[in-house]
Structure 1
């Protein structure tokens, strides 16, 4: 189909305009190499000066790690809200927000913070979250030094963020296994996956020598045109299945074709075991990552996450309803990645059932 898609996210650096911000050398701050603004999402660029100012008080927290946490937690959506009640860029729980000294009235799972609540404001959010996260990082670093647990402090901080610091303090290694620190099989899997995702994103936005690239991954292929209005399954499927697609799905394929060079097959219309599937109605497409039936390589998985992050960043323009990829699901209702459990139809541990070998995209109409 003549797609122009990057084969791997790591190759993007040489193709994009790089704007350098020199590192500061104040004695009490982390001295980092140049930051590549050309690879940052717009909100991250806007927040960079304030983020650097806040991190001057926490030199042990690399900005690349913090930006990786934000990417994993909210995909840089300042109004992200989870079903558990976590809100904002780094997904602060109401108790954590209060513990961190955040302003505003407490909220709950059932009642979102008010529209004017400071948890939604990116500057206020980071001004509250970063010192709190830094205190936890320092506490857990001291614990690791005292106990000799074989875990990197940043990985331990990621465990703290997703599951609470007690999972580090009460576990044998700092990364809880099933039955360890009150963590069952699902808990241990979720924590391990989260730590791996933060590390993977940090790796994508940092060069081998440790210099921070801050590749935001949300605008690596440019912004797509806005999707047309709703319609039925009355257009020929451009991916060659012989079936039909809606105008919105056809637009999705056209935008991927125009802005990327996706090296693997894309397929939209088709029958599926799931009676609620959007594929038979032409409202869904699958982007193969590597090859169907086998786990992707690290480079292929990196490319998959680059595409997935781009799609979530432009979900409104592309009229995306939900994505399933790499054992996780993203829905427009909550706008965060959550563990995928197979919808009662598929085996989420299977390479194909868990969507480790392909990225599913469903559009609204």
Structure 2
């Protein structure tokens, strides 16, 4: 296992720059998710790391070993010691689970030793030992993805790359499979990179989240930092939903359509304020005359059981989204009062899109 370092990596297709001057460090044994919308360059970046593509400029290194760039001849994929888990798992349909897992082992290790390694890998990805004789078409989608991970981990790769491997699974299976994969990677101290467009997946699984937009890496930080302190309003709106309102800042406070808010850092003058929906408190507990906050009318309620999203239109026409508990919530047409809780991130005009 080793760390992974990309420095100034660029790749174009015709007139389109798919990956644009990306610099990223993935520490040894850590899990990084590359998050971004479709077409932002995530999969291209993964294919560059694997060696399926060669960058026009920049370098890629596994630990101290540069595999491309800096004037060195690119190391071919088969000798980079990379485990690659594609979107659909891509198991060999004519081989059983044991043969699929052992396929990536060196030829000399596929004899008697492979049985022990297969058993170890099945236990690692939390599948029963008797699955070894099953064919891929006898497995669920989540089980196939676990076998694909076991196959990639069996040869003890330097880095494991996961290309949206959970996207075809239903919500419940997706979550349980992703957590099992994360546990397996932690046990083996494997350096891993997962590309995804799912914000919940990226935030819940990663040690580090790298956000891409238009081929560029716009922020790389811990999940909590990306969510609470996004680099710009566009990242704020993409990584979790956000209410972005114009305001006027004076030192530690700012005034906007939702009233006065407290800032994470002092600022002055015109700003864009990033407010998470869960910070917008809907006052339902007090009689009409005692309610505090800005008055608005509920336009829509999206109920999810554990919580709900409430779309509110303020008197000045501003649309505001609140996320609140699903136990007690207003209905469309209700008049409510809103106020902001917690600290708010402010962006100066130069930082706004």
Structure with more of its chain in helix, by fraction: 1
| TM-score (norm. length: structure 1) | 0.23
| TM-score (norm. length: structure 2) | 0.24
Structure with more of its chain in strand, by fraction: 2
